[in-house]
Chain A
């Protein structure tokens, strides 16, 4: 019973690290998905003196994905009362050309600024409307949200690592007599500490499996899926292979590093 309790404290600490890490991953995926969605909706409107082809726009900045000419018909419709066809055609030729530029990804405020500058440097372009204010607000909100999650994850990581370290020290204390005796007969460090490493790695694997089960359940939970659907976000909450590998990697590496620190700080008692 006592042994299960000892294991539980390490497993729970590792599960909380993995949980917060996966929350960070999900948030990142949600933000990426939202950014993709925004990118498809976001566009920059350019006013040019002359007609420009899509290829010309693509050469201006690698961020530009496509360019579509906006038809002047709507404007002309409003003005055409009493105008004959000849005058309308003349007007069409004198009106500036409007283009809508779609970007490859949702740009950062800096990228928007750079793009605007580049476009305005072109002699043929007279005005660029980048909707920077609205864009900035959404982007800053996304960044703030992600930063909060990162801070939360780092805090959980540090606190639980300290807890794991303390738990491993208790284990080491329990096994110190055996480790000392083995040392007296010349056992190398890795052999003396094999029990400590075995326990740490086994618990890391158990924690990964527990986290795996929790997130497999959450990824099929209809309420949670509904929430993302409401927000119009399509994302993979849990990728069974990739995320399990990440769980195993993080927990085993962390447990091994902490166990190594304990072993290196251990002093032989005689």
Chain B
């Protein structure tokens, strides 16, 4: 099975003195569903940042989608990011754009044709139950609704990898369930690799998943 992520002796740090992740090695197979857990400040989000190239490894190597991220050029990093869908805890939606335009963003960047963009966005708005809110701006929506928009945006371009940073952190049960269903659907139906950073793994998951736990800078797989 192809590996989407290969980390070898990976060290991540914001300053030279203290490593957040210290010489960790792990890999993620294509099409798998992975949870990353750990206490607050353990380095879960830091690890996720490194997976989309926002933080470069200080040591070891990190290969995502065949791209070595330690010495990656801007154009190669952009290319990789065009094949990744990211869901942030704080949604990161563009406030001046309608939710419809927010969802379109990865499709525009990937150069999809206008009719494809329209139909894809339409279908995603239905999936996240926000069709009636298409023309609204993010700040006019609740937190749960904004996260559903972020989820639709992450799925819009059928990425090979979805990275989600505590996607249901502050959400109500209805929105949380919808988000988990969408992530499961992407994984089972589209064979998208999904990596979720979370404090708690939901009990009613309908997919087989891998579980990595981060503690004191090291990453271990939990059986």
Listed in ascending order, the chain A residues whose CB lies under 8 Å from chain B are 177-178, 181-189, 191, 268, 270
Contact = CB atoms under 8 A, between A and B. Distances in A.
A270 B45 CA distance: 11
Given A178-B94, A270-B54, A270-B55, A185 B74 contact: no
Closest 6 CB pairs of A and B: A186-B81, A186-B82, A270-B54, A186-B78, A187-B109, A185-B106
Nearest to A191: B109
A187 B78 contact: yes
A188 B96 CA distance: 20
A141 to B, nearest CB: 55
B79 interface: yes
A185 B105 contact: yes
A178 B109 CA distance: 13
Nearest to A195: B96
B94 A189 contact: no
Interface residues of B, number: 26
A111 B92 CA distance: 70
Contacts of A189: 74
The dominant DSSP class at the A interface is helix
A196 to B, nearest CB: 14
Interface of B: 49, 52, 54-55, 74-75, 77-84, 86, 92-97, 105-106, 109-110, 153
B79 A186 contact: yes
B92 A184 contact: yes
A188 B78 contact: yes
Contact of B86 (A177, A178, A184, A268): A184
5 contacts: A181-B94, A184-B81, A184-B92, A186-B81, A270-B54
Greatest chain A CB density within 10 A among B86, B97, B109, B153 is at: B109
A264 to B, nearest CB: 11
Given A178-B97, A185-B105, A186-B81, 8 more contacts: A181-B105, A184-B54, A184-B86, A185-B153, A186-B82, A187-B105, A188-B78, A189-B74
Contacts of A181: 92-94, 105
A191 B78 CA distance: 12
A171 B68 CA distance: 34
A183 B81 CA distance: 8
B82 A185 contact: yes
Nearest to A179: B94
B81 A182 contact: no
A268 B81 contact: no
A178 B81 CA distance: 16
A188 B109 CA distance: 8
Given A184-B52, A187-B78, A189-B74, A177 B109 contact: no
Contacts of A184: 52, 54, 81, 86, 92
B41 to A, nearest CB: 17
Nearest to B82: A186
A185 B54 contact: no
A128 B97 CA distance: 80
Contacts of A270: 49, 54-55
Contacts of A185: 81-82, 86, 105-106, 109, 153
A184 B86 CA distance: 8
A185 B80 CA distance: 9
Contacts of B75: 188
